[in-house]
Amino acid sequence: KEDSPETAEKSEETKPVVIQIGYGNNPGEPIDLAANEWKKLIEERSNGSMKVELFPSAQLGSKNDLIDQMLAGDSVITLADGAFYADRGVKDFGIVFGPYLFDTWEECWTLTESDWYKEQSAKLEEKGLKLLASNWMYGDRHTLTTKPVKTVEDLKGMKIRVPNNTIQIKGFEVLGATPTPMAFGEVYTALQQGTIDGLENPLTVLYNGKFHEVAKYLILDAHVKNFTTWIAGTDFFNSLTPEQQQILTETGKEAGIYNNEIQEELNDEALEKLKAEGVQVIDINKEEFKEKAKAFYSLPEITKDWSEGLYETVKDAMK
Amino acid sequence: MPPDIIIERSKFMNTDNNKVFKYLMNIDMIIAGFALIILVMITFFGVIMRYFLNNPFVWLQEVQLWCFTWVVFFGGGAAFRSGSHVAIDVLVDHMPAALKKIVEILGYLVSMAVLIYLLFHGKNLVQQLLQTGRVTNILGIPYPIIYGAFPIGCVLMIINYTMVMIKELTNKELNVEGGE
Amino acid sequence: MEMNVVGIAAIVMLVFLFLKVPVFTSVLSGSVVYFILSPNVPTKIIAQRVIAGIESIPLLAVPFFICAGVYMNYSGVTKRVMNFAEALTGHMAGGLGQVNVLLSTLMGGLSGSNLADAAMQAKMLVPEMERKGFSKEFSSVVTASSAMITPLIPPGIAMIIYGSIANVSIGKLFIAGIGPGILLCGSMMVLVSIISKKRGYKPVREKFIEPKEFWVALKEAALPLCLPVIIIGGIRLGIFTPTEAGAVAIVYSLMLGIIYKEMTFKDIISGLKETINSTASIMLIVGAASAFAWILTKERIPQEITELIINMISNKYVFLIIVNIFLIFVGMFIEGNASMIVLVPLLAPVAKAYGINEIQFAMIFIFNSAIGCITPPMGTLMFVTCGITKCKINRFIKEALPFYLLLFICLMLLTFVPVFSTGIVDLFY
Ligand code: NA
Ligand code: NA
């Protein structure tokens, strides 16, 4: 029978590619809303040749689990950022999580469009990870504490929970605090019982985790401008048709723009809600924090892994 | 290691060798034991460092999880020797002896198939981690070292389950011959 | 198509489970079938999911409290505490059974982990209960089912997860848990008393002990009784987390072992061995179960059934009944916290739309997923307890029947009488 290969091809065409997108944020957080928007865009634009399933709240596993899964060839996409890529062997990428590297979001977006960033993306691709979109704002990372912090000196000796990576640990250490890595799920009780004195994250995450019920003081220090990225396994990405690849990256960018709009809106909303629920926002002199954070970029433990003059290169690239 | 097998072998060895052999057969337990001791110690001293000296071990979590993984997978084989693995015997208890034995052998074969499958894919996972060079965030411990316990654990469980099975079958045959 | 694959995997798992294949390999056999029949899913992931299910900081409580329990036995701590507990409860029917329930409730104020509580009491209390004439099965069932109380009394991991996913105040959820916790504690003590009377687990003596004897027992138990004080104090003062408390308890019981001179180096080594054997067998089941739960999630099985339910129902009470049945069923296969992460975002908004109080619904949800822990086929609490006490699973299930009934009655009370969940919250807020 001559026509059988053709029908086989046809049936393969009609069977949509299923892409699973996993992230740690909970339903209703800006990232989740924007991921829903992304799903909508992909499914519309691909005329049903691509189907997207969303898995919020780390249902499919942690970021690291998902990265291992995509390296094994699974058709998953996840949210990850510079600090993760540094731990996956692209050391220079970690600098984007350095304290006070960016002054404005514009600088972030200039950097993600720069040649330096393209180089880093290429290195990541060699490691089997394909960056799909880098224009997603995750938010300014602020600090919520159980005791008031009025000056950077007050941070001295305070145990602040940070994610488990060297960049963020050292980034907080230079401010004088005692960075304490801890599983996110244990943070609420640890704050309540005083095992730690604070944590840092974007406002929407702080509000959604209900940490303000047990920690009442907030400083808007914005120590990291956290943009985030979506990645997929290179093998999976290459298995898509060029058209599908284009749809994926294009819509990723568009959903990113949508994300950034609602991020600002929802961040303001979260701040209002935090205040309304009894959180005291303390005015700080941010310059003081910035000044102290500068030491980070000359710490030998940090710079030993970096390329020569990385700080200057990146600073130039974001202008 | 069933003790009677050790005794039988010891007839052919001098006592020194026997001791070495005994340690060798318990090496999984020894490794798991050290992992457990380290786990308890770093957790305890981690508390002291964080609360009293305000200088927490930032690497605590990753070493805790490393030790934990090793305790579980190096201990998995040993748990067969001590009969610690749980099974549901609701139905099997009502079966006649002959059928029981068949079911038992079936269970063994199923477990072997599962463990061999896991061994193979666990090994692949470790290879992937080797290729991509994944290390822990703070201390940079290569993940193949941590997760390597998984395929090793599968091998240990295969060996131990097999030995327990052999022992059980031969014992039962002896019993039958004894006119039970 | 995928649903068929998962169906076949589940059947294979269940068949082997009931054919006395070790629990962890039978659960894994289901996952193996899935991975073989799903060519699109890379097979290495099976290994990763088993490991990921084990690698969790709160689960460290399992080896810690098993080890602490073992050393308390060896060092003479358990003996002294039990003598004291008996002095207090010897005049009650089924005294140590009551102690078992009460202890879980008190431990609830410290720890959020039911597994840790079951592990500790299976190791410490059950041998003592057997010595006092309770059957192994009864002791195991009381231990496993009373461990359900621990996460209900604040703090509890389930409340934290629920609160952050469903956007409900965790503080309120914590307080709300006290109601069902006390309800369960009280009714379980009554049940223990009824069964004990029927079985003739007689009180050791007629009335409360003589003051003089009481003081002797108290003096003997003084140092061991400092342990709960140290643990409570340490957690409340923020010196250590409930997980770390296990490591502190190990060190403390080793110290007492030295003081009492009842512990030898050989005991220390056999304690390590016992801990490793129990930890490995329990955690391999937890890892296997979490790999299977991952498959269900990835194939969106719970999500699709939920959508089906939501589309079918139009009445608040029908909704509550169906949700209860569904959650008990899910709880039998998926560990409570994992099912919560998947199902809360789907079900909580619907419950809200029906006008069900969000705190009450949270309690129904948390209570339901707790029940699954002591039922076959994948009751983690049941496996932990039986793994330690070496109780046969079928005897356990048979003995647990009145407790299942009790839990069902409590669940119905929670479902249809909101005040059990919201009463105390309203008092505080
Ligand atoms: Na609790
Ligand atoms: Na109990």
Residue C201 has pLDDT above 70, yes or no: yes
Task: Please report the pLDDT score of residue A238 as a whole number.
Answer: 94
Cβ contact, residue pair B134, A88, below 8 Å: yes
Task: Please report the pLDDT score of residue B6 as a whole number.
Answer: 39
Task: Please report the pLDDT score of residue C2 as a whole number.
Answer: 58
Ligand (nearest to CA of C177):
1
Nearest CA to A61 out of C55, C13, B137 is that of C55
Helices (H) and strands (E) in chain C, counts: 22, 0
Beta-carbon-side half-sphere exposure of residue C284 (alpha carbons within 13 Å): 35
Percent of chain A at pLDDT above 70?
A: 96
Cβ contact, residue pair A68, B134, below 8 Å: yes
Task: Please report the pLDDT score of residue C111 as a whole number.
Answer: 59
Q: Is A225 helix (H, G, I), strand (E, B) or coil?
A: strand
> Hey, where are the domains in chain B?
3-178
Task: Please report the pLDDT score of residue B174 as a whole number.
Answer: 46
| C65 close to B149: Cβ distance less than 8 angstroms | no
Cβ contact, residue pair A195, C236, below 8 Å: no
Neighbours of chain C (3+ CB pairs under 8 A): A, B
DSSP string, C348-405: HHHHHHTT--HHHHHHHHHHHHHHGGGSSSS-HHHHHHHHHHT--HHHHHHHHHHHHH
C246 contacts in chain B (CB < 8 Å)? 43
Task: Please report the pLDDT score of residue A140 as a whole number.
Answer: 94
| A180 close to A162: Cβ distance less than 8 angstroms | yes
Cβ contact, residue pair C237, A194, below 8 Å: yes
From A72, A87, A195, residue closest to B128, measured CB to CB: A72
Strand partners, A162: A181
Distance A90 CA to ligand 2 centre (A): 50
pLDDT tens digits, residue range A74-114?
A: 999 999 988 888 888 888 999 999 999 999 999 999 999 99
Cβ contact, residue pair A89, B137, below 8 Å: no
Strand partners, A225: A140
Least confident of A178-187, C112-121, C137-146, C376-385: C112-121
Residue A137 has pLDDT above 50, yes or no: yes
* Residue A228 confidence class, pLDDT cut points 50, 70, 90: very high
Nearest CA to C113 out of C164, C171, C66, C52 is that of C66
B window 76-135, beta carbon within 8 A of A: 125, 128-129, 132-135
Task: Please report the pLDDT score of residue C65 as a whole number.
Answer: 76
* Residue B9 confidence class, pLDDT cut points 50, 70, 90: very low
Cβ contact, residue pair C392, B89, below 8 Å: yes
Average pLDDT for residues B130-140, to the nearest whole number? Answer: 84
* Residue B17 confidence class, pLDDT cut points 50, 70, 90: low
Least confident of A55-69, A212-226, C109-123: C109-123
Bigger pLDDT: C312 vs A71: A71
Angle at C151 between CA C149 and CA C153, to 5 degrees: 70
Task: Please report the pLDDT score of residue A158 as a whole number.
Answer: 93
| C147 close to C157: Cβ distance less than 8 angstroms | no
Question: Packing angle between helix C2-18 and helix C265-298, nearest 10 degrees?
Answer: 150
* Residue B16 confidence class, pLDDT cut points 50, 70, 90: low
Task: Please report the pLDDT score of residue C6 as a whole number.
Answer: 85
Average pLDDT for residues C251-258, to the nearest whole number? Answer: 87
Residue A148 has pLDDT above 70, yes or no: yes
Average pLDDT for residues A139-163, to the nearest whole number? Answer: 93
Cβ contact, residue pair A68, B60, below 8 Å: no
Distance B135 CA to ligand 2 centre (A): 41
Rounded to whole angstroms, the Cα distance separating A287 from A221 reads 10
Rounded to whole angstroms, the Cα distance separating A156 from A215 reads 18
Residue C180 in tokens: 């069902």
Cβ contact, residue pair C52, A65, below 8 Å: yes
Write down the mean pLDDT value for chain C. Answer: 83
Cβ-Cβ pairs closer than 8 A, B with C, add up to 183
Task: Please report the pLDDT score of residue A4 as a whole number.
Answer: 44
Rounded to whole angstroms, the Cα distance separating C198 from C192 reads 10
pLDDT tens digits, residue range C371-424?
A: 888 887 778 888 889 888 889 888 899 999 999 999 999 999 999 888 888 877
Rounded to whole angstroms, the Cα distance separating A131 from A23 reads 15
From A157, A164, A183, residue closest to B138, measured CB to CB: A164
Q: Which of C26, C55, C241, C266 to mutate to test the interface with B (most CBs of B within 10 A)?
A: C55
Residue C271 in tokens: 């304690």
Task: Please report the pLDDT score of residue B172 as a whole number.
Answer: 59
Distance C428 CA to ligand 1 centre (A): 19
Average pLDDT for residues C3-31, to the nearest whole number? Answer: 86
A127 contacts in chain B (CB < 8 Å)? 132
Percent of chain C at pLDDT above 90?
A: 17
C383 contacts in chain B (CB < 8 Å)? 86
Residue A17 has pLDDT above 80, yes or no: yes
Distance C108 CA to ligand 1 centre (A): 4
Task: Please report the pLDDT score of residue C23 as a whole number.
Answer: 83
Cβ contact, residue pair C45, A188, below 8 Å: no
Task: Please report the pLDDT score of residue C74 as a whole number.
Answer: 81
Residues in Cβ contact with B165 at an 8 Å cutoff, skipping those fewer than 6 apart: B105, B108
* Residue C309 confidence class, pLDDT cut points 50, 70, 90: confident
Q: Is A309 helix (H, G, I), strand (E, B) or coil?
A: coil
pLDDT tens digits, residue range C169-183?
A: 777 887 888 889 999
Rounded to whole angstroms, the Cα distance separating A238 from A199 reads 39
Residue A241 has pLDDT above 80, yes or no: yes
Least confident of A108-117, C37-46, C197-206: C197-206
Q: Which of C34, C35, C46, C48 to mutate to test the interface with A (most CBs of A within 10 A)?
A: C48
Q: Does C249 touch chain B (CB under 8 A)?
A: no
Residues in Cβ contact with B15 at an 8 Å cutoff, skipping those fewer than 6 apart: none
* Residue C202 confidence class, pLDDT cut points 50, 70, 90: low
Closest-approach residue (CA) in chain B for A195:
B51
A61 contacts in chain C (CB < 8 Å)? 49, 52, 294
Q: Is B141 helix (H, G, I), strand (E, B) or coil?
A: coil
From A27, A62, A185, residue closest to C345, measured CB to CB: A27
Q: Cβ–Cβ contacts within 10 Å for residue B103, how many?
A: 16
Q: Does A59 touch chain C (CB under 8 A)?
A: yes
Rounded to whole angstroms, the Cα distance separating C104 from C374 reads 15
Bigger pLDDT: B159 vs C167: B159
| A188 close to A249: Cβ distance less than 8 angstroms | no
* Residue B10 confidence class, pLDDT cut points 50, 70, 90: very low
Q: Does A170 touch chain B (CB under 8 A)?
A: no
Task: Please report the pLDDT score of residue A100 as a whole number.
Answer: 95
Q: Which of B125, B132, B150 to mutate to test the interface with A (most CBs of A within 10 A)?
A: B132
Cβ contact, residue pair A164, B125, below 8 Å: no
Rounded to whole angstroms, the Cα distance separating C202 from C196 reads 7
Task: Please report the pLDDT score of residue A229 as a whole number.
Answer: 95
Distance C171 CA to ligand 1 centre (A): 13
Beta-carbon-side half-sphere exposure of residue A172 (alpha carbons within 13 Å): 29
Cβ contact, residue pair C22, B46, below 8 Å: no
Nearest CA to A164 out of C13, C309, B143, B137 is that of B137
DSSP B40: H
Ligand (nearest to CA of C242):
1
Rounded to whole angstroms, the Cα distance separating C248 from C262 reads 20
Least confident of A1-5, A177-181, C11-15, C251-255: A1-5
Percent of chain B at pLDDT above 70?
A: 83
Strand pairing category for A76-80 and A178-181:
unpaired
Distance C401 CA to ligand 2 centre (A): 17
Q: Does C238 touch chain B (CB under 8 A)?
A: yes
A161 contacts in chain B (CB < 8 Å)? none
Residues in Cβ contact with A226 at an 8 Å cutoff, skipping those fewer than 6 apart: A81, A97, A137, A138, A139, A140, A141, A202
Bigger pLDDT: A292 vs B17: A292
Task: Please report the pLDDT score of residue A5 as a whole number.
Answer: 44
Task: Please report the pLDDT score of residue B31 as a whole number.
Answer: 94
Distance A267 CA to ligand 1 centre (A): 33
Rounded to whole angstroms, the Cα distance separating C88 from C54 reads 39
pLDDT tens digits, residue range C329-363?
A: 878 776 676 677 777 877 887 888 788 888 999 99
Residue B55 has pLDDT above 70, yes or no: yes
Distance C48 CA to ligand 2 centre (A): 33
* Residue A247 confidence class, pLDDT cut points 50, 70, 90: very high
Bigger pLDDT: A4 vs C276: C276
Residues in Cβ contact with B71 at an 8 Å cutoff, skipping those fewer than 6 apart: B32, B35, B36, B39, C63, C276, C279, C280
Average pLDDT for residues C263-287, to the nearest whole number? Answer: 87
Ligand (nearest to CA of C113):
1
Cβ contact, residue pair C298, A28, below 8 Å: no
pLDDT tens digits, residue range A281-309?
A: 998 999 999 999 999 999 998 899 899 99
Residue A3 has pLDDT above 80, yes or no: no
Residues in Cβ contact with C122 at an 8 Å cutoff, skipping those fewer than 6 apart: C69, C140, C143, C144, C384, C385, C388, C389
Decide if the complex's ipTM is over 0.85: no
Rounded to whole angstroms, the Cα distance separating C286 from C303 reads 22
